[in-house]
Amino acid sequence: MVKQVVLHGSDGKAIGQMDLEDKVFGVEPNIHLLHLALRRQLNNARSGCASAKTRTEVRGGGKKPWRQKGTGRARAGSSRSPLFRGGGVIFGPKPRDYSFSIPTKARRVAMKSALSARIDAIKVIKDFSSLSSPKTKDFVTLLNNLEIKGKVLVIADTKMPENQHLELASRNVPYVKVISPNNLNIKDLLEAETVIISELATKDITERLS
């Protein structure tokens, strides 16, 4: 089965219809796998570099603060003890790896679920050949023709000749992110208010996820 969407020309105006594979863009979203894949992406992006020094790592504290007996105070062997100000931290954070993995099949289902869940926000464009030069004004005109506002995700291969000016033309437009089909991810798909996909990128995504 196929799902039909409007195909826009390089200037943003509708030029016809395009068929999208139902098995990629029309599946029933699996909320559990969507959540799992999003958590995986966010966790894998964490640096995990938080670190606190223990009493053995804090500088100083070699001399006994006061004598063992006769002062009326508790015994103390080092001023770097966690009980003292400036001392070490008990059970403090240490660099760790937050990442985890999920099966490839599950990731593929999650990606299909994300695309299907955002199908109403997807606009398919033939290419970006209307951007004859890397001018922000031309890209803004294209967005206006598509009647798009807010956060935009653009999925296209910027190495193709017809898309060569896309990256530079869109770079100064707020809330616009350009990625290649190979870098398609759950977080960007769910965050964007509108998703613009080139015709070639649509076929590439369909081929990889089918």
Residue 1 has pLDDT above 60, yes or no: no
Every domain of the chain and the residues it spans: 2-45+102-209, 47-97
Tell me the pLDDT tens digit for each residue of 18-61.
889 889 999 999 999 999 999 999 999 999 999 999 999 999 98
Helix-, strand-, coil-residue percentages of the chain, each rounded to 5: 35, 15, 50
Tell me the pLDDT tens digit for each residue of 120-135.
999 999 999 989 889 9
* Nearest by Cα to 41 from 110, 113, 115, 117: 110
Tell me the pLDDT tens digit for each residue of 147-186.
888 999 999 999 998 999 999 999 999 999 999 999 999 9
pTM of the predicted structure, to 2 decimals: 0.82
Please report which helix (H) or strand (E) contains residue 42, including its range.
helix 31-44
**CA pair distance 43, 74, nearest whole angstrom:** 45
| CATH 3.40.1370.10, applies to 2-45+102-209 | yes
Residue 2's alpha-carbon distances to 5, 27, 112, 127, 197, in angstroms, are 10, 11, 14, 21, 17
C-beta of residue 43 within 8 angstroms of C-beta of residue 100? yes
